[in-house]
C-alpha cells in the first residue's frame, strides 16, 4: 500500500472516524483536529473506555518512531517532572488515502504563555524560563536538542503549577541539522550561527522567547522586515525599558559568552528572586492571592539549587 501524502486542504481523519492500529489493534475515535505541522497532524481522540488522548499521525515512519522514542526516554529521565506528554501506543494505520504512522500520547492542557503573563504579570517570565531551563537540561543530557523551541510550544498547567512542553517534532540528535524550526527563534535566520543541533541552539531560542514574551510588539515589527536585522534587535532591546533587568542575560547570549542552559539559568536567578519578592508582597497585601505559591514550589522542586533562594 502507498504511503499517505498530506495536503494543505484535507486532513487525513474526520470527526467521528475510528482509527484502528494495524499491529496492536487498538481503536481510537477521532473527536477533532488539534493542529497541523510540517511533519504531521495531531488529533483529539477517545479510547473505548472514554479516556481522551492525542494522536499524532505522519507519512514518515522514522519521524514518528523517533519522537515516540524520545518521549519515552524523557519519561524515564524526568523523575516526576513532566517534560513532555506521556506516550502510549505506536502503530500504523491503513486508510483510503494510503498507509500512515502514528503514536498516541497524553493530551496536554494548559494556558498559553502570553495570556498567562497578561493575567499574572510579566515578572513571571523569569520563573517560567527557570522551569524551561531545567527541562531542557534533561533533554540535553539525553543528547537531544529541542530544535523548534518557541512560545507557541509551551503551556502552563495552572492546576499543577508547571510549564509543559508540547510538539516534539523538531527534536534533533546533537550533531545533526535541526529539521524543524521557526524563523524568529532560529539563530541561522538571524545570521548568528548554524542550524547544527547543540545546546547553544536552544539557548539562543530561549533568548528570543524572552523578547517575544516581554515585547510582542517588537517581535511583530522586526519579524515583518524583509531581511532580518539583528543589529536593530540589539539596539531596540538596549533602548526599551521593558528589558531593563534582562539586558545582561540577553547580551551574554547574543555575544556568545553564554552557550549553556546552566549559565543562562544562573543569569535568571536575580530576576527569579525579584519575582518571588513581588509575589510575597502580593500575598501579604491580598491573602487570597495564593495560587502563585504552587508555581514557586514547582520551580523549586525541579531546580534544587534555588530552593534556598526562594524560601529564605
Residue 276 has pLDDT above 70, yes or no: yes
The predicted pLDDT at position 162 comes to: 85
Nearest to 158 by CA among 120, 107, 210, 212: 120
Which residues are catalytically annotated?
148
C-alpha cell at 179: 529539521
Confidence of residue 8 (pLDDT cuts 50, 70, 90): confident
Over range 79-93, report the average pLDDT. 81
Query: How many CB atoms neighbour CB 205 within 10 A?
Result: 26
The predicted pLDDT at position 295 comes to: 54
For the ranges 44-53, 159-168, 251-260, the lowest mean pLDDT is seen at: 159-168
The predicted pLDDT at position 167 comes to: 87
291 against 20, higher pLDDT: 20
The predicted pLDDT at position 48 comes to: 92
Buried b (16+ CB within 10 A) or exposed e, 107-143: bbebeebeebbeebeebbbbbbbbbbbbbbbbbbeee
Residue 158 has pLDDT above 90, yes or no: no
Give CA–CA dist 188/168, Å, rounded: 20
pLDDT single digits (tens) 15-47: 999 999 999 999 999 999 998 877 789 999 999
What would the DSSP string read from start to end of 2-18? Answer: PBP---SS--S--TT-E
Q: What is the average pLDDT value for the chain, to the nearest integer?
A: 88
The predicted pLDDT at position 302 comes to: 44
56 labeled binding residue: yes
pLDDT single digits (tens) 239-262: 999 999 999 999 999 999 999 999
Are the C-beta atoms of 81 and 135 separated by less than 8 Å? yes
Domains of the chain (ranges, CATH numbers): 18-105 (3.30.200.20), 111-311 (1.10.510.10)
Q: Give the contacts of 4 (CB within 8 A, at least 6 positions apart).
A: 12, 59, 95, 97, 98, 99, 100
The predicted pLDDT at position 83 comes to: 66
pLDDT single digits (tens) 107-132: 988 999 999 999 989 989 999 999 99
Amino acid at each position: 500500500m502507498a504511503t499517505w501524502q498530506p495536503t494543505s486542504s484535507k486532513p487525513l481523519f474526520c470527526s467521528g472516524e475510528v482509527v484502528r492500529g494495524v499491529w496492536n489493534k487498538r481503536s481510537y475515535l477521532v473527536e477533532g483536529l488539534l493542529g497541523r505541522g510540517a511533519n504531521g497532524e495531531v488529533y483529539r481522540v477517545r479510547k473505548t473506555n472514554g479516556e481522551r488522548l492525542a494522536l499524532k499521525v505522519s507519512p514518515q515512519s522514522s519521524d514518528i518512531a523517533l519522537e515516540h522514542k524520545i518521549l519515552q526516554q524523557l519519561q524515564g529521565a524526568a523523575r516526576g517532572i513532566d517534560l513532555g506528554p506521556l506516550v502510549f501506543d505506536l502503530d500504523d494505520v491503513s486508510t483510503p488515502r494510503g498507509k500512515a504512522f502514528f503514536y498516541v500520547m497524553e493530551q496536554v492542557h494548559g494556558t498559553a504563555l502570553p495570556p498567562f503573563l497578561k493575567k499574572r504579570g510579566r515578572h513571571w517570565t523569569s520563573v517560567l524560563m527557570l522551569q524551561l531551563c531545567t527541562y531542557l537540561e534533561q533533554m540535553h543530557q539525553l543528547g537531544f536538542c529541542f530544535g523548534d523551541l518557541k512560545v507557541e510550544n509551551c503551556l502552563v498547567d495552572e492546576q499543577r503549577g508547571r510549564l509543559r512542553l508540547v510538539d516534539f517534532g523538531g527534536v534533533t540528535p546533537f550533531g545533526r541539522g535541526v529539521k524543524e524550526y521557526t524563523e524568529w527563534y532560529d539563530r541561522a535566520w538571524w545570521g548568528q550561527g548554524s542550524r547544527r543541533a547543540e545546546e547553544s541552539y536552544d539557548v539562543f531560542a530561549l533568548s528570543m522567547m524572552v523578547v517575544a514574551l516581554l515585547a510582542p510588539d517588537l517581535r511583530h515589527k522586526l519579524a515583518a522586515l524583509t531581511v532580518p536585522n539583528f543589529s536593530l534587535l540589539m539596539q531596540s532591546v538596549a533602548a526599551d525599558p521593558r528589558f531593563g533587568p534582562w539586558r545582561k542575560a540577553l547580551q551574554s547570549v547574543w555575544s556568545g559568552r553564554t552557550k549553556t542552559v546552566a549559565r543562562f539559568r544562573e543569569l535568571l536567578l536575580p530576576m527569579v528572586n525579584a519575582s518571588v519578592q513581588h509575589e510575597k508582597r502580593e500575598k501579604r497585601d491580598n491573602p487570597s492571592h495564593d495560587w502563585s505559591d504552587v508555581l514557586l514550589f514547582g520551580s523549586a522542586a525541579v531546580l534544587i539549587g534555588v530552593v534556598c533562594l526562594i524560601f529564605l
